[in-house]
Chain A
Amino acid sequence: MAAVQGGLVDAEEEKAIKTEPSSDGGGNNNANDGRLPSTSPGASAAASKNAAASPEDQQTLLAVLQFLRKNNLSESVDILRREAGLPEDSLDAKGADASGGGSGGAAGTAGVDGVDASSILSRVTAPSSAGTPAPTKTPAENQPDVNVVLSAYSQQGDPALYETYYSGLKRFIETVLDCHRAELSQVFYPLFVHMYLELVYNNHENEAKAFFQKFSGDQECYYEDDLRVLSGLTKKEHMRGNETLLDFRTSKFVLRISRDSYQLLKRHLQERQNNQIWNIIQEHLYIDIFDGMPRSKGQIDAMSGSLAGEAKREANKAKVYYGLLKEPEIELPLDDEDEEAENEEGKPKKKKPKKDSMGSKSKKQDPNAPSQNRIPLPELKDSDKLDKIMYMKEATKKIRLGPENLPSICFYSFLNAYQGLTAVDFTDDSSLIAGGFADSTVRVWSVTPKKLRKVKSAADLNVIDKESDDVLERIMDEKTASESKILYGHSGPVYGISFSPDRNYLLSSSEDGTIRLWSLLTFTCLVGYKGHNYPVWDTQFSPHGYYFVSGGHDRVARLWATDHYQPLRIFSGHLADVTCTRFHPNSNYVATGSSDRTTRVWDVLTGNCVRIFTGHKGPIHALAFSPNGKFLASGATDGRVLLWDIGHGLMVGELKGHTDTIYSLRFSRDGEILASGSMDNTVRLWDALKAFDDLETDDFTAATGHIHLQDNSQELLLGTYLTKSTPVIHLHFTRRNLLLAAGAYNP
């Protein structure tokens, strides 16, 4: 449960960090180990021996040296150095580096190079070392002193040469063989950023600006947003407290490069003695080297774009139980109205096979499913069972969808919503609709003729006959019946909203940092869950109720239970705001989308991150699990929908077509159709079956994660439906596969 401690970066304890080199022991140690040899590739062997002897002492010594030098105590430095027997020549660099190493650990560079990184190759051969990052990272993040983080940049190089270095590398990469060029080009962006930051950190403002001017245009267009942030940053003082920058520094940028390409790059840099660049690559980049064919430009582009590069391969290796839980067995009542018309003899016969088909499906345990009690789920109440029965009845009337049989779409427009509609949710049975507004209100409508009623007051409840059959009906106060109710309580725009599966509760998350639980029986607020402190962008109930997940500006997602005022789990790891959160249909996993342009899947039981999906080029605003739990769809501001195979941890499809942010994604009840709703005022329907069908799942792709995406968006697109002037912010398939969409009319 490392994750629980992590997260909030708000408590700044600078004092504690002043003494940092020795204080954060174990974690640092490793990081430092890796750092030492990296000062210059040539000297790596010698240095590594040196370091290996007594890494901890070594580090302390270096830290002390650093401190002495800083205070101009040169004699002490000499003495100490002599006594410690450190070689003089490498000291300068090492001294500087030591602080870098320490800080790296402190800031939670996550020690990707982990246990043993004394030689570059060892990383290649033993990438499994990533088992350790979590522990190193966690204590680190508790003390994110910016100075320490940044001091890694304090190596002085000749600022004027940066341009030469960079353009030298650029020239080299442009001249290599085509097959390597695309791969090596990945280095450009992280290198560019780090060099720029180094220049800024060392107060070479003009050189930094010139450097930026000259090379920012070369970067991939999907980094534009980050470049914009960078361009504003021209002073060392600005670097304090700039989150984007801290992210970049504290998390190593991950690149996947084939062995051949990597060797090529390494040889080039060593030949040229291009230490500046080599240092950066060593310190700030994590290069995930694989054997085999170099990837093509298209393959790389499909996966890149996130704030911290691609996901490491081993990050997606954990086993995920994506299967569905066994449905509880519920006796279907025999008095089915439809059946009554049938003749008496046919009735039992027909009933039997039907029940069997239902039962057999649920009785057989899915091999990929988690065990039933992997996480404790609430007991089914009688009312839940009734609802399940209703659901099954409805399901029999479900329309089978497909490319030939498109769903009808009913659009709910919110009129006069001048204050701004920010979130919408439907109940699963489509009887209620709730809207969250920028004026802090939450409104609930009934879309069936059944009006919304409150429970009677306590005094009135005393009077009623509790034994009567219709007691549930009697407790409701007819006088309060109305089509809609307004819930007041938040003090900021309501960004997330979710009904509980039993329709008794409503969750809302808001800019004010709280999540509120509302009762739909009394239409009052029951609990305010505090913890995020910053805007909470999204919240969702688990499909089994009781649990819910939330994510916010504080970069963590939290798992809550309705009866606990503190979170049960904190999922931390995203490098920017968690913008959307979704529960897996089996409630064992949670998916989060983030502004760092990654999607992560978390295990509710352990709190670990089990999948990292990269490939989006903008903040992710919509997520949807397929009903069978196997696939995940994500939509982002870049207007693309990406499809992911959760089991294999692979991208399996890309749906292009939208021209603006996708705010809503939903699979049809049987998973044949994927509907997406966007800011560009359209609802689009995609052939999900075909998208998953075309999947080539040979072992090689599964092993390497290198997918060839066909550009078949146009074939998969089944329909585009334009609204007049209404952004589509929510979609929902009714139990009979009718698609409901909602948005605020925007004259």
Chain B
Amino acid sequence: MAEERRQKQCSVVLPTESMKAMAESVGVGQLQEESCVALSEEVSYRIKEIAQDALKFMHHGKRRKLTTSDIDHALKLKNVEPLYGFQSQEFIPFRFASGGGRELHFYEEKEVDLSDIINTPLPRVPLDVSLKAHWLSIEGMQPAIPENPPPAPKEQQKAESTEPLKVVKPGQEEEGSIQGKSQGATAADSKAKEKGLIRLKPRSTHELSVEQQLYYKEITEACVGSCEAKRAEALQSIATDPGLYQMLPRFSTFISEGVRVNVVQNNLALLIYLMRMVKALMDNPTLYLEKYLHELIPAVVTCIVSKQLCLRPDVDNHWALRDFAARLMAQICKTFSTTTNNIQSRITKTFTKSLLDEKTQWTTRYGCIAGLAELGADVIKTLILPRLSVEGARIKAVMEGPVLSNIDKIGAEHVQSLLLKHCASVIAKIRPQPDTVEQYRTDYGYLGPMLCSHVMKARTQAALQAQQVNRTTLTITQPRPTLSVSQSGLSGSTGPRTPSIIKVPSSLTLMSPRPGTPSQPSPPATKYIVMATSAGAASTQQVITLSSSQSASPVTSTVPSATSTLQPLVKLDSGSAPGLTGSRPMQKYIVVSLPSPASSSLEPKSSVLPSSISSVPLESGMKLERSESPGANTQSPH
């Protein structure tokens, strides 16, 4: 401890090289080493002094972060001119360069084209300061409203579920005792308990407050209702709201029951909606889902392997649902599989078992393969590749044999394309070149020749990608070509669906400031609107046309005026893009594919409410509370 502190406090002095560099910059050619030392000591001392004064201003500004204005004020205290005009949005604005044995930090000043600035439409005016009241506590109880933090943090949820008898944390104990009081236990009782050191697990309430019940009702209705915009909002809420912990058991039951019922009724649309709910729950960082996996996993697996998921298997695209659910399953495995619960191996076993079964239907077979394939290259290598010839023979029998049923044929086709899609990339990696059709035929049977061409395609693609020096840092959390918004809600649940479903990625965080190409361009040229919102500042939107072909950089262009839903568009060519958008430290990009008219609902909300939940019931609930807010002071909370 002491050692560390001493290290820290040991006087740190600027290097003399800096002094030299600075002297040179003002025209003093040769500064003696001694003068440098003296100067650097003096400068270091003064800097420390100013920093200590600046700290004072930080404290009085009620902040935790020191800002440049604090330094300015500290300079002013010392009667020194403040640094005018020094403003940096980045944390540390310096760039590093080295070469010729010298290391330099410099301030990057780019040339700015004035006409660019002039032509840029003005950013939106930031919102004015406003006041909002909410109940932090009502007679000692903190209400579970979105304005308040989640009642139980994830660790605590975990602790409760895994170690129910563990010593409770002080805050929790407090909560417990208060809860106890509110439930009628006298305070003397609870005190006696505390004194007696008998640790009882506080009874957890399973009753939801009225607001929560309303919320639950509204959310579940929106999730399975017909309005797509509402659903998107509801899912967004599930994925981000931190206060759902108490409702989690209900959601879980809702999903598992929903799947059970709708599988029987072959209601494809509802199954899709339910799977999207699972996805949203999993995306919520504040929820501890482990307790409810026993309900969620069967539901998801059902959606992968069920024999029939829709009324018209020949027309409806239930395959997409299976794909989606398989991905979900893979994600569950990745997140929750541990050595104790062995989720992944148990799931793998289940899939393999029915895959090996001769009598398995094509639909189930498809699901098993999809489920396995999503688990990764290793699983494909060990479990699917050896089966290729067998499956190939089976497909061949359906394809080339007498047409027994159309459904079987469609199934076989899907299985075939699925196998080709997943296996090709794996084979490309593990199999040495050259790829000869004959060799493939002997190895993989019926599917061999097709595999061969796929593998070759995969190889060229890989080579191409390797060529493009990997400047792309855009990571899209959800891989593969799912980035298309489902048809607008009106199209309803029935009717032929386009091959893509679901997946409205709520928000993708780009790791790099420059909007580059996504690592895997989707096949058709897709337009993305990248809406960047940085805290409080204006939001800019830009349209990037991603051509799936070889071109490395995205072609960005002004969007044709046809897309009237999205007004402020910024013209950016890829070169200047980083200059404009790259200056902000963290940005949220919302990527929406353009053609859909529904995308307008996805405009970034600029609301700065403590939580961006915007479901209707809650807001009305808040209003209700506000009207009896203490400001009016006419009603007491009793």
Contact = CB atoms under 8 A, between A and B. Distances in A.
A378 interface: no
Given A234-B41, A415-B609, A448 B632 contact: yes
B124 to A, nearest CB: 12
Interface in B43-79: 44-45, 48-49, 52, 56-57, 59-64, 69, 73, 77
Given A209-B11, A234-B11, A411-B136, A420 B63 contact: yes
A628 B13 CA distance: 53
Contacts of B609: 415
A683 B142 CA distance: 11
Given A577-B56, A595-B56, A234 B136 contact: no
B59 A637 contact: yes
B132 interface: yes
Contacts of A564: none
A266 interface: no
A714 B149 CA distance: 22
Contacts of B121: none
A233 B135 CA distance: 50
Interface in B444-484: none
Contacts of B181: 404
Q: Which of B45, B131, B629 has the most CB of A within 10 A?
A: B131
A421 B62 contact: yes
Interface in B378-420: none
A404 B191 CA distance: 12
Interface in A579-633: 579, 595, 619, 621
Contact of B137 (A408, A443, A745): A408
Interface residues of A, number: 93
A406 B60 contact: no
Interface stretch (A88-96, A469-477, A733-741): A733-741
A410 interface: yes
Interface in A173-229: 209, 212-213, 216-218, 224, 227-229
Contacts of B6: 213, 216-217
A155 interface: no
B140 A729 contact: no
B187 to A, nearest CB: 5
Range of interface residues on chain B?
35 or more
A747 B609 CA distance: 9
B137 A406 contact: yes
A39 to B, nearest CB: 33
B171 interface: yes
A658 interface: no
Interface string B305-320: 0000000000000000
A406 B139 contact: yes
Interface in B122-172: 126-140, 142, 147-149, 170-171
A661 interface: yes
Contacts of B52: 228-229
A146 to B, nearest CB: 15
A259 B77 CA distance: 45
Contact of A720 (B63, B77, B171): B171
Contact of B131 (A213, A414, A448, A577): A414
B636 A231 contact: no
B77 A722 contact: no
Interface in A692-731: 714, 717-727, 729
B131 A621 contact: no
Q: Which of B10, B127, B149, B631 has the most CB of A within 10 A?
A: B631
Given A235-B41, A535-B77, A410 B134 contact: yes
A21 interface: no
B49 A217 contact: no
A738 B48 contact: no
Given A213-B6, A448-B631, A231 B60 contact: no
Given A421-B62, A493-B61, A535-B77, A235 B139 contact: no
B129 A413 contact: no
B496 to A, nearest CB: 44
B2 A416 contact: no
A408 B630 contact: yes
A209 B12 CA distance: 12
Q: Which of B49, B127, B140, B174 has the most CB of A within 10 A?
A: B140
Given A413-B134, A717-B174, A718-B140, A422 B126 contact: no
Q: Which of A409, A495, A736 has the most CB of B within 10 A?
A: A409
A416 B536 contact: yes
A577 B220 CA distance: 57
A414 B129 contact: yes
Contacts of A228: 9, 52
Interface in B564-606: none
A399 interface: yes
A248 interface: no
Contact of B147 (A430, A537, A714, A724): A724
A422 B62 CA distance: 6
Contact of B60 (A218, A405, A579, A738): A579
Contacts of A231: 9-11
Contact of A449 (B137, B142, B632): B632
A366 B92 CA distance: 61
B55 to A, nearest CB: 9
Q: Which of A213, A535, A724, A735 has the most CB of B within 10 A?
A: A724
Contact of B135 (A238, A410, A415, A718): A410
A537 B49 CA distance: 20
A725 to B, nearest CB: 7
B73 A511 contact: yes
B99 interface: no
A445 B73 contact: no
B633 A724 contact: no
A665 to B, nearest CB: 15
B610 A663 contact: no
B588 to A, nearest CB: 12
A346 interface: no
B3 interface: yes
Contact of A741 (B45, B136, B536, B608): B136
Contact of B5 (A217, A406, A553, A579): A217
Given A409-B136, A449-B632, A619 B126 contact: no
Contact of B636 (A417, A720, A738, A747): A738
A107 interface: no
A27 B147 CA distance: 62
B11 A411 contact: no
Q: Which of B62, B73, B630, B631 has the most CB of A within 10 A?
A: B62
A491 to B, nearest CB: 11
A412 B59 CA distance: 21
Interface string A429-461: 111010101100001010111000000000000
Contact of A447 (B62, B131, B139): B131
A53 B546 CA distance: 99
Interface of B: 2-3, 5-6, 9-11, 41-42, 44-45, 48-49, 52, 56-57, 59-64, 69, 73, 77, 126-140, 142, 147-149, 170-171, 174, 178, 181, 187, 535-536, 608-611, 629-633, 636-638
Given A408-B137, A579-B60, A736-B636, 10 more contacts: A231-B10, A406-B140, A415-B131, A416-B128, A418-B536, A435-B129, A448-B633, A637-B59, A734-B633, A747-B535
22 contacts: A218-B2, A231-B10, A231-B11, A408-B138, A409-B135, A412-B131, A416-B130, A430-B631, A431-B633, A433-B131, A435-B129, A445-B131, A493-B69, A535-B73, A679-B62, A679-B64, A721-B136, A724-B148, A729-B62, A735-B633, A736-B636, A738-B633
Interface of A: 209, 212-213, 216-218, 224, 227-229, 231-235, 237-238, 242, 397, 399, 403-422, 429-431, 433, 435, 437-438, 443, 445, 447-449, 484, 492-493, 495, 511, 534-535, 537, 553, 577, 579, 595, 619, 621, 637, 661, 663, 679, 683, 714, 717-727, 729, 734-736, 738, 740-741, 744-745, 747
Closest 3 CB pairs of A and B: A217-B2, A447-B631, A406-B140
